[in-house]
Structure 1
């Protein structure tokens, strides 16, 4: 059986690279893409290689980045543009194979096992993919290669990104290079897990790969075996174009422009979030039975907040059903301290075309209302119709309607 050849193609400093293509005057300047400090979203989303040389990193505050590099150019994100470019890159990859699986907005897997007769060996294909993406979009891509997805991902993250050619293959013949790296470099190991593993005397990826599996399973359960398999480069999951066909949940979360302190204001935003979750559920053809509500407190020195969920008797995609459940969760769990962010999600999804109904609930009226709302929104936009409460100072519906993922389109 022919060994698989899997690519993980990663776009270098994706948001910042797109901005440099969009505005050529930024080409030779240190650039960061960051949110709006006035709305408390002044976080670095991406930094170009020139900015990184000053020590600027993703997820640090904009103020901190400016201290490191006062002359850094700050660009507001253009999320719709990034989505469009990401789709364009997917189409480029599909010229080399029909097996392309998005991993994130700037990373995609490719299975090129069957493409070698057409485009050359794996390294030739990687070079061609790089060249085509650079020529068509102006974005430089790095390619990790492996016999499976996990090795391709770690080849890209740990080696291809630091390789002058931007291409690296990782397999059983050179996995010892991976094993020499700190355990925190392994995919799936964050800061907390690094501390846990360090406390067990595991400091290198190789230490985890050769650690007794039964002890790991006893300590971490199923995740212990996943960690061990990752360290040993074992991954049986195929590159699949259907990975994202079935969603597990639909949610919406927002960082508030100021601290919200009273229940009346919070209720406005919560209702807006539930309305948006319900609308998105309907647009995707889903209903859901489990409602979740999460809050983060405003005090960073003494973090507060909660995440609670409840399951409804029957699935729904009606905003008031979701709101009533979420508001009840909020009132039961809120400590009456100011909040900085809030989110709502609907899970345990099922197709809306075939679902159980509640005989004691007027579901036909709800469906009629949903249909009326969606018709107006689809034709005239999200700001064409919203509740009067959204016109108060607490409302965020009109501001959020012009954003994608919390950032301006």
Structure 2
């Protein structure tokens, strides 16, 4: 892991591709250009979910993770497009190659975004803003896509900055501006602050970073747990997290939401077989074996549970993954229950345990 010397102020760029999946579809299919499209599940049957959508669709209020049926209500002329993940991965690799012209300190967060540490850049350009401009230009000219960039002295601020002038934006938060920037930031923009936490903060009359800054570290921990320590530092512009080019993969999984509720065990097992194929392929791609299998179940009333089993040895083969998942399903007594989603995740990629320490964990 690269750690910048304490005397050197980091130069961090966060690059976020604009409406990535949808933009690739519009680039590759001229009939979609300038139109409202959503990449994701069809609204037919139970209806799928929007993975991402074009900016033409966003004008109507369509958003990622929105149920497809709701998206169609907001935008009746919305065109639904099935995802092509192989194509998106190929484009993502091309984007990564552009990044690597400037630095090897690249931390991908997903197919469409990454952190870059350009404190010392390969081409000795020196200016993080100039590097971000060159990267954006290369993406536009070579891939016919656009990206937005945030530039600052740490990961947190750079990530927020990249979202400020989308699409095709570039926002620089200078070192002298970081603390005032954080003071004016709405609490819902803070990392790890979801709707529930944001509502709790606002009920305490904490609306911005400046409000959070009035509380001591102990008070923040008292009210918000361990995250309070992070809030205390970041509102003062302190984020020492390094860009990690070889960040360890913690888990590999896949899940599927069904068009109609599953009520028969045979149907559930058939779907688990399909999901296990995806998981096994991903484990093979990353050359990983996991010792903990986790089954995720979401019922028709949106109640969600997980069950997991830890094994003595790591696995990545399809038959074992599917068999363990089915065993975990049986333990939930699925008869006569309506299931709308199933998922399988493999984790715990560390050293193997001796048989006598193998654990079964159900919760």
Instruction: Tell me if TM exceeds 0.5.
Output: yes
Bigger Rg, which one:
1
Instruction: Decide which structure has greater helix share.
Output: 1
- Counterpart-to-counterpart distance in 2, 1:277 and 1:26: 31
Q: Are 2:251 and 1:241 equivalent residues in the alignment?
A: no
- Normalization by structure 2: what TM-score? 0.85
8 Å CA contact retained: 2:251, 2:347: yes
CA RMSD of aligned residues (A): 2.8
- Kept in 1, the 8 Å contact 2:47–2:69? The answer is no
Higher alpha-carbon deviation: 91-100 or 318-327: 318-327
Give the 3 Å change call, closer, same or farther, for CA 54–326 of structure 1 in structure 2.
closer
Find the partner of 2:172 among 161, 168, 171: 168
* Aligned structure 1 segments of 4 or more residues deviating by more than 6 angstroms: none
| Cα distance in 2, alignment partners of residues 122 and 31 from structure 1 | 34
Please give the alpha-carbon distance, in whole angstroms, between the structure 2 residues aligned to 1:326 and 1:219.
Answer: 38
Q: Give the conservation status (yes or no) of the 8 Å contact 2:251–2:346.
A: yes
Aligned partners of 1:10 and 1:107 also within 8 Å: yes
Say whether the 8 Å CA contact 2:312–2:354 is kept in structure 1: no
1:22 paired to 2:22: no
Counterpart secondary structure, 2:289: strand
How far residue 254 of structure 1 moved from its aligned partner, in angstroms, is 1.6
Distance 1:23 1:315 in 2: 42
Correspondence for 1:290: 292
- Greater mean deviation of Cα atoms: 80-89 or 116-125: 116-125
**2:112 is matched with which residue?**
106
Does residue 195 of structure 1 match 2:199?
A: yes
Q: Report the secondary structure of 1:349's partner residue.
A: coil
Task: Identify the match of residue 259 of structure 1 among 258, 261, 285.
Answer: 261
Name the counterpart of 1:60: 66
**What SS is found at the alignment partner of 1:96?**
coil
Q: Contact 2:185–2:208 (CA<8 Å) still a contact in 1?
A: yes
218, 221, 226: which is aligned to 2:222?
218
The 3-state SS of whatever aligns with 1:333 is coil
Q: Please, which runs of 5 or more residues in structure 2 have no aligned partner?
A: 1-6, 357-363
Deviation for aligned residue 1:274: 4.2
CA deviations 1:49-105 (Å, max 9, x no partner) are: 222222222222333333333334433322211111111111011112222221121
Question: 1:132-157: CA deviations, max 9, x gaps?
Answer: 11111111111101111111111212
Aligned residues: 349
Kept in 1: contact 2:151–2:158 (CA 8 A): yes
Distance 2:236 2:291 in 1: 39
| Alignment match, 2:252 | 250
Corresponding position of 1:307: 306
8 Å CA contact retained: 2:147, 2:169: no
> What SS class does the counterpart of residue 21 from structure 1 fall into?
helix
Aligned 8 A contact 1:188 1:227 in 2: no
What's the offset of the Cα at 1:183?
1.0
Distance of aligned partners of 1:61 and 1:325 in 2 relative to their CA distance in 1, 3 Å threshold:
closer
| 2:4 counterpart residue number | none
Q: Deviations over 1:333-384 (max 9, x none)?
A: 3464110111122222236xxx46759xxxxxxxxxxxxxxxxxxxxxxxxx
Counterparts in 2 of 1:93 and 1:51: CA distance versus 1, 3 Å:
same
Cα distance, 1:262–1:117 mapped onto 2, change above 3 Å: closer
* Contact 1:250 1:345 (8 Å CA) reproduced: yes
How far apart, in 1, do the equivalents of 2:347 and 2:126 lie? 45
Cα drift, residue 174 of structure 1: 4.3
Question: Matched residue of 1:350: which SS?
Answer: coil
Once the two structures are overlaid, the 10-residue window that deviates more, 165-174 or 233-242, is: 165-174
Deviates more, 1:140-149 or 1:229-238: 229-238
Deviation readout 1:314-340 (Å, 9 max, x if unpaired): 444455554454334323334641101
Aligned mates of 1:42, 1:8 — CA distance in 2? 30
- 1:230 maps onto 2:234 in alignment: yes
CA distance in 2, matches of 1:285, 1:308: 25
